[in-house]
Structures are given as C-alpha cells and as structure tokens.
Amino acid sequence: MDVSVVLDSLNEAQRQAVTAPLGPVLVLAGAGSGKTRVLTHRIAWVIQVEHASPHSILAVTFTNKAASEMRGRIEQLLGAPGGGLWIGTFHGIAHRLLRLHWREAQLPQGFQILDAEDQQRLIKKLIKAQNLDETLWAPRSVQGFINSNKDEGLRPKDLRGGDSSFRQMVQLYTLYEETCAKSGVVDFAELLLRAFELWRDNPELLAHYRRRFRHVLVDEFKDTNGIQYEWLRLLVASEGHPFVVGDDDQAIYRWRGARVENLQRFRSDFPHAQLHRLEQNYRSTGAILDAANGLIARNSQRLGKNLWTSGKQGDPLKLYAAFNERDEAEFVTHRVREWLAGGGNRREIAVLYRSNAQSRVFEEAFIAARIPYKVYGGLRFFERAEVKDALAYLRLLTNRHDDPSFERVVNVPARGIGAKSLDILRERAQVSGSSLWDAALAGASNGDAPGPKAAAGLRGFLALIELLAQQIQGRPLHEQVDHVLKASGLTEHHRREKADSRGEARAENLAELVSAARGFASQAVDEALPPLESFLAHAVLESGEAEGEPGTDCVQMMTLHTAKGLEFPVVFLCGMEDGLFPHQRSMDDLEGLEEERRLCYVGMTRAMRQLYLSYAEQRRLHGTDNYCEPSRFIMEIPQKHIEEVRPQVQVSRPVAAGRFRLEEPVSAVMRLGARVRHRKFGEGVVLNVEGGGSTARVQVSFESQGTKWLMQEYLEAL
C-alpha cells in the first residue's frame, strides 16, 4: 500500500498524530475534528510503516456501530480484510475473552448474558425472597449499588463496615452473585470485572496477551470507568504502545461511572506520553465554534484547546425568549417550516433538550403542524418484549439453568403456570440449591409439581425445550430461529393478540428476528462460539444503543446525552433555564455544574449552520407551573455571538431576566402567556393579541385543538 493513501487526506495536526513514534500517545480531539479518521489511519500506518501484524492490534470503542464503521474504514485503507484485528466495544472484547477462557474465568462454557431488564427482575426476586419491603429496597437502587461496585472492581468481600442499610445491600449483592453463579449468567458489569480478574489472576495468560497486543487503541477515552481503565493499564504495562483519543470537554457520563480524570491519570501513569491536539473543526461555522469556546472556557481542570474552522463565520446564535413551553414549541415549529420552505429537509433539524419530559409539547406542536418527527430513545429491536421472549427460548436451548429466561417464557404462551406455581417452584429451587429447570424436572419426575394444571404445563414445557434442542441440531442459524419461533407457538401467540392492534407488528418483529439471524450468520467473524450462542451474545450486546431508522426524513428529537456524536445543519437547544439546564441537582455542585456545561458545549457543537437557543418565562413541567430564569449558560456565551429574535406579533411582552428585558406590553387585553378557556376548544394559552377592546383578536394554543385565532369575547380567563 502506498503511504500517501494513509496521509494525503489528513491535515497537519492529524498527520502528526497518525505518524507519532511508537509509545504512549494521547490525542485530544475536539468536536468535529476527525478523531475516527485519526484512529483508523493510525492503525493503517502501524501496519504499513511500522510493519505490525494485524494480530497485534486491539482497538476499543464504545458502540458496536462505531466498531463496525472503524473496521470498514481500515479494510478500505488496507485494501484487504481485517480479520486478524480485534476491534470492538469493551463489553464485546471482554465477552470474547471470557468465551475463549471460560475455564480460567471460572464460568460454565455456555454462560449467558443478563441484560439490564433481566438483571432487575432477578434482583426483585431476591428482595422478595428476603422478605424486604420494595419501597425501601427498590430493585433499581440495588441494581445501581451492584453495578457501581463492579465498575470499581469491588466484590462483596471487599465491602466492609457501614451501617445496617449498607450491610443489607452487601448481603443482597452476595445473594445476587451466588444466584448468577448457580444459573450460569453474567451481567454487563460482570463481563468487564471478570475479564479484568481473568488477566490479574492468570499471569501466564496475561503475559500471552501482552505479547500479542502490543498496539492498543482506545476511542472516547474520557468515557472509561474505573475497571475499564485498570483493565487497559494491566494489558499495556510498560511494553505496549497505547494510543488513546478523547476530549475532556465532551465528558458527559459521570452519572454512569465515566471518569474524565482518566485523561489526566493517563498522563500521570505514562509520563512520557506524547500529546497531540486536534482543534480544526470540519462541522460548524466560526460563530458557533467561537460561542462554544467561550462557554467551555469557564470550566476548570481542562487540558485545553480552542476549536477553529477554515470555513465561513456564519450567522450568530439566535436566542428566543418564550412566554411558556407552548410558545417555545410554536417558535420551533415556525422556524422548521421556514427551513423546509427554503428547500431544506426535515432530517437536517434536531430539537435537543435536557429532560425527556420536554418532548411532549414539541410532539404535540409537530402533530398539529403535520410535521413528521422521530423521538430517539424508544425501544430498539432487541429490547422489544416479543423479541426478548424469543431470545429467552433460544437461551434456554443453550443453557437449561438460565433462571431469568426460564421465568420469562415458562408460561408464554399460557400453559396454566401462574404466579403462585412459580413462587412454589422458586422456593423449592432455593431449598435444594438448584436451578428452576432442575426443580421443575425433579417435581415432574416424582409427581410433586404445584397443582395438576401447572404440573401438566411444566411437563409440556420441559418436553418442548428438549424437543426443540434436538430438532434444531445441524440446521443453519436462521432456520434454527425460525423453527423455534413457530414450534414454540410464539409467532401465533403474538399474532392472535386481537385486543392489541400491535399484535401483527409483533409477529412481524419475530419474522425480522429470523432475518437478523440470517444477516448475522453471513457476516459473523467470531469463530470461538457456535452460531446460536454467538448470535445470542450479539443480541444482548447490541441492546441499548439508540439510533433512528435509516433514511427517514423527519425532524430529530432527543436529549442532549443522546445527541453526542451526531451532527445536524440546524439545532434547537431548548429549555435553557436554570434548574432545568443546568439541572437543579447540579447547580450547587462544582463537578456537576461543569459536567452540565460540557453537556451544553456538546449540544452547541452538534450544529453545523444554524443554532437556536430558547428558554421560557414560565414552564409547566411534571404538572407544576414554574417561573423561570434564563440559564446561566446563556450569560456565559460571549454576547457578541448572540442575536435575540422575536415572534411576528403586534404586541411585545416583558422578558423576565436582566439584559433580555424588553419594553412593556402596549395593547394586550389578555396577558400573553395567560391560560384561557373556550367552551368548544377547551383550555389553552394566549400567544398573540391584535387590536383592543371588544374587537380584539386573540391567538390561542389549545391543548387538544392546535392554534386558533378567536375573538376575545368568546374566551374566559383562568
């Protein structure tokens, strides 16, 4: 391969990073600066110029989509398949290691992965078995305790002292670990912790992987948590060549364990690490970048960089002060229409907000205006109930002792095995120290099953699973899945759900699962597992990565956290009010406030051409009316980059905050933003007033009827 293919498309800063001498390298990559390009070209450079074997390269990122894209780009650069490369997410690579070394990891060969929902269901069962009150011991809280300790590398035996509540949490953690070991299942956090312990406790195995993976590259390094960092440091040691890429200004996941300080820690652990900054932005206009730079400069403990562009300066940011949340939504709708009228596409527009609860008003406004939209963050394919039912059947075929899967489908379709029968079965399993499968098998063989109807149902279920396991042997993966769906009765069960109009859609989702299996089999690269087990692991690892359907032309709506990594020509950053953004919980905490500021910076740098900021004087959220102050982040943006915009109204209104105060209203008979009632259209909010006295016309946004102009005499003030 010609080296120019690797270097010619890079700018000078990118080229310096890609060609850096072997050894520890930290690349501080700003938003839109081409970090993925640098990572992929670095791998091609190491293979072509440093003559590294593809087998010596381990590349880690945070989503399966990013890993797939990285592999594709590398193969394109090399002009050859990259089969020897290990490229994947932390969880995916940890899973691969544990499958290869299940004995050393003290796991059963056919271990299965619990997703978050199954994990919470198991914890709920343990809380009930301990006769604890769920209002005091919420399953989600216990789940968070377990996962956060695993993220820090802490087992129950490492947690000592504390008050009685803490000791009860540790006991639940202990019971949870024992139950998982008995069932042969691991959760997401366990994958990482067990992979770390695998290397830590097996020096010869660790030495083997240190010799093999001399080149370790990590994307989004600032999002690593404690156990991920220790896992990487253990692998690299002093002989490896770590190449890590991250941006401390975009670290927004502290709430789920990410440590932005790992960037500083890397420089401490590798004092001779080379530092490269990527500051040229290829996404946004100069005005947007200057505004974002001015905001993020308020944060302390930054490694420091300043984004710039060789492109246009562009328009200043537009700031809109709304009367209330409905006025805010009307403003956004109006500007969306303007963009579309100018020849733009709906998919080029993003509405970003701090809280999911903010989406409802925008959805209502878009529906009234007949503007198609998509809300990111809904259930993805592998998270849908009918798909999870199918996966539970398949998991039982590979591991009979998978209790969460057993519980999920033992009575789906219905077999007369109710909650009481399951409680009896759980109790027997607990007393005998066995899995639910073994407890059911023992009860069926000695006639000691819970009730005649449940006994018949259990015997039928056990026989069905054994029969299915025999029938799918030797078949292609997609035929295995198809046969299980039909022979188990799942497809027909969901199709018959007449009371639910989504029944046919659920059956179609099950058909799509067969297609997914066919596609997976054609591109699978992991030969360490049988096809079905590999597919099941893929399904769990894929769940939770929210993304929209490709090719859909609709306005994109999402939280700021979801927007990270995306870009749009037009961005609306809504709800810019103190208490909402920054969030109330973070306003008195320096670390929390700085993370909120980074989140705002992320939102701003999603915009390519136009960026709108909006706030409301009054906002009804969670059923409560609140009078709001503009976000401090608005004040922190250099004011020369902000232009205030007003609605096309014949009256003006007071704006409740400092420098943004406009003149007092001159002709408003009814106060703008006031709530009114119409006998036919119901309750609404005043958006505009024309004229005065009895002939005044009032524009009202009704909760269920959209926006209408009416004579004042037909409205009653509330």
Query: Tens digits of per-residue pLDDT, 443-468?
Result: 776 656 567 778 888 889 999 999 99
| 37 is a catalytic site residue | no
First-to-last C-alpha distance (Å) of the chain = 75
- What is the pLDDT, as a whole number, of residue 472? 93
Catalytic residue among 151, 187, 220, 389: 220
Which of the 8 DSSP states describes residue 280? B
- Could you give the dihedral angle defined by the CA atoms of residues 647, 650, 655 and 661, in that order, rounded to the nearest 10 degrees? 110
Catalytic residue among 16, 19, 36, 171: 36
CA 447/CA 449 separation, integer angstroms: 6
| 220 is a catalytic site residue | yes
Residue 508 confidence (pLDDT) above 80: no
Mean pLDDT computed over 334-363: 91
- What is the pLDDT, as a whole number, of residue 509? 79
- The answer to whether 401 and 385 have CB atoms below 8 angstroms apart is no
| 36 is a catalytic site residue | yes
Q: What is the CATH number of domain 381-542?
A: 1.10.486.10
| 35 is a catalytic site residue | yes
- What is the pLDDT, as a whole number, of residue 406? 93
Lowest mean pLDDT among 97-111, 199-213, 215-229, 356-370: 356-370
- Which CATH architecture best describes the domain 317-378+549-652? 3-Layer(aba) Sandwich (3.40)
Domain boundaries of the chain, sorted by first residue: 3-102+193-280, 112-183, 317-378+549-652, 381-542, 675-717
Catalytic residue among 35, 194, 305, 346: 35
Please report the DSSP string for 486-531 in residue order.
Answer: HHTTHHHHHHT-TTSTTHHHHHHHHHHHHHHHHHHHHH---TTS-H
Catalytic residue among 250, 358, 610, 707: 250
Whether 112-183 shares its CATH topology with 381-542 is answered no
Residue 543 confidence (pLDDT) above 70: no
- Which CATH architecture best describes the domain 112-183? Orthogonal Bundle (1.10)
Catalytic residue among 219, 327, 402, 482: 219
Dump pLDDT digits (tens) for 293-330. 999 999 988 888 999 999 999 999 999 999 888 899 99
Dump pLDDT digits (tens) for 636-694. 999 999 999 865 443 333 333 333 333 333 344 467 778 888 887 888 888 877 766 55
- What is the pLDDT, as a whole number, of residue 450? 66
* Beta bridge partners of residue 575, listed in sequence order: none
Catalytic residue among 384, 408, 606, 632: 606
349-353/373-375 β-pairing: unpaired
CA 210 to chain centre: 31
Dump pLDDT digits (tens) for 587-627. 888 888 999 999 999 999 999 999 999 999 888 765 567 78
Q: Please report, rounded to a whole number, the percentage of residues in the chain having pLDDT higher than 70.
A: 89
* Beta bridge partners of residue 612, listed in sequence order: 318, 572
For residues 691 and 549, the model is more confident at 691
- In this structure, the number of other CB atoms found within 10 A of the CB of residue 705 comes to 14
CATH superfamily of 3-102+193-280: P-loop containing nucleotide triphosphate hydrolases (3.40.50.300)
| 400 is a catalytic site residue | no
Residue 5 confidence (pLDDT) above 90: no
Is residue 544 very low, low, confident or very high in pLDDT (cuts 50, 70, 90)? very low
Residue 718 confidence (pLDDT) above 60: yes
Task: Report the alpha-carbon angle 454-455-460, nearest 5.
Answer: 95
Residue 264 confidence (pLDDT) above 70: yes
Burial of 503 (0-12, 13-18, 19+ CB in 10 A): middle
CA 580/CA 353 separation, integer angstroms: 9
Is residue 526 very low, low, confident or very high in pLDDT (cuts 50, 70, 90)? low
**How high does pLDDT run on average in the chain?**
86
